[in-house]
Amino acid sequence: MAVSSTGNGWLRQGIAVLLALAWMLTSVRAHEGPEHEIEELSELMAARGEAPHLLIDRAIEYAVLGRNAEAMRDLERALQLDPDSLDALRELARLQFVEGRNADAVATASRALRSSPENPVDRAGLLILRAEIQAAAGRLREALSDCQSALRLHAENPEWYLIRSELQRRLKKHRERLRGIEEGWKRTGAGLLKIERIDAQLDARRYREALEAIEEEMASSRIPGPWLIRRGRARLGLGDKDGGVEDLRAGTTAIDAMLDRDRPDVSLLLDQAVALVLLGEGGEARQVLALAEEKGRDPAMTARIREWVTRTRHEDSSSAATGRASERLAP
């Protein structure tokens, strides 16, 4: 880059020496985390006046500290100054979603979409955000529609295929779900989509295909519990009641053996709850789920399993699992 004038040797030497002197003589505050950033940004705005990018920066720091109300207030102020700020709209929608203000969050995400981001990936990201909010509000068809639109704009994100898959599962669109996962797997190669395909096969009662894939995965698995539970589901589905129950029990035992219940990996607890539901042990499943909720500190992530457990509440808790039960309880 050309500039009007360039430095020369004596100047640079002078700067170096002065730098060292100033360094020794000058005291400044150390970097002290988000509180410090908030303080600095507040001082800056008190002096220079508010600016959208400074308000957004401060909102991000507030959100890091869990001070969502203050974060949202800053974002709303940023939007007064720049009504089309995509960053502010995106962050505000996300925070409203986190706070459970789903209607506001949908409205904010829709407003962001109306501002027509030039980049298709930005637009797709907003559609996915709106899809997640719609799904949380139980508006599954609208959520699925947003998700499909997003994937048409940007087909490279494996996470978005998983979101679509979950929506299709809840809407019982098993065939479309399998097709969509296959498409995502080919497009992104993501290992999670391979696992999701197995779960979708189980949900679609394509037990034989699922069993084949599960056994292939088990051959290289180091943590067998979750795979044993999946295989148990497949065997029950194929009418192999004894084999299925044996796998489900072996799966829960394997998880028990590696789990520290005082400090559990919550995802393993969720796997175990699934097995207990399939074994007809609703009471125990509820206990495991309660522990998962206590340790996981996020009831939203146990919602799917809780739904299954609730459905077993009226089941005869003493009945052993059957193939029929497996089909009935299949999520």
Site residues for another protein, window 88-127 (CB under 8 A)?
A: 118-119, 121-122, 124-125
Choose which of 267, 310, 317, 319 interacts with another protein (CB under 8 A).
267
In contact, 74 and 95? CB cutoff 8 Å = no
Using the minimum distance from each CB to another protein, give the nearer residue, 123 or 286. 123
Q: Which of 283, 284, 276 is nearest to 229 (CA)?
A: 276
Asked if 209 contacts 194 with a C-beta cutoff of 8 angstroms, the reply is no
Identify whether the C-beta of residue 130 lies closer than 8 Å to the C-beta of residue 146.
yes
189 binds another protein (CB under 8 A): yes
Cβ-based nearer residue to another protein, 48 or 114: 48
Residues 30-69 that bind another protein (CB under 8 A): 30-34, 44, 46-48, 53, 63-66
d(CA 239, CA 324) in angstroms, rounded, equals 8
Closer residue to another protein, CB minimum distance, 147 or 325: 147
CB of 319 to another protein, least distance (A): 29
Nearest to 130 by CA among 174, 152, 160, 165: 160
Closer by beta carbon to another protein, 116 or else 119: 119
Is residue 319 at the binding interface for another protein, with CB under 8 A as the rule? no
Contacts (CB under 8 A) with another protein, residues 204-263? 220-223, 226, 258-260, 262-263
Minimum distance from residue 68 beta carbon to another protein (Å): 9
**What is the spatial distance between Cα 291 and Cα 90, in angstroms, rounded to a whole number?**
34
Q: Which of 26-34, 228-236, 275-283, 315-323 is the region at the interface with another protein (rule: CB under 8 A)? A: 26-34
Instruction: Kindly state the smallest distance separating residue 314's Cβ from another protein, in Å.
Output: 26
From the CB of 248, what's the least distance to another protein, in Å?
19
Tell me the C-alpha distance between 8 and 40, whole Å: 35
Q: Is 73 in the site for another protein (CB under 8 A)?
A: no
Which residue, among 47, 171, 45, has the nearest Cα to 59 in the 3D structure?
45
Degrees to nearest 5, angle at CA 158 with 154 and 162: 110
Q: How far is the CB of 36 from another protein (least distance, A)?
A: 8
CA–CA separation, 292 and 100 (whole Å): 21
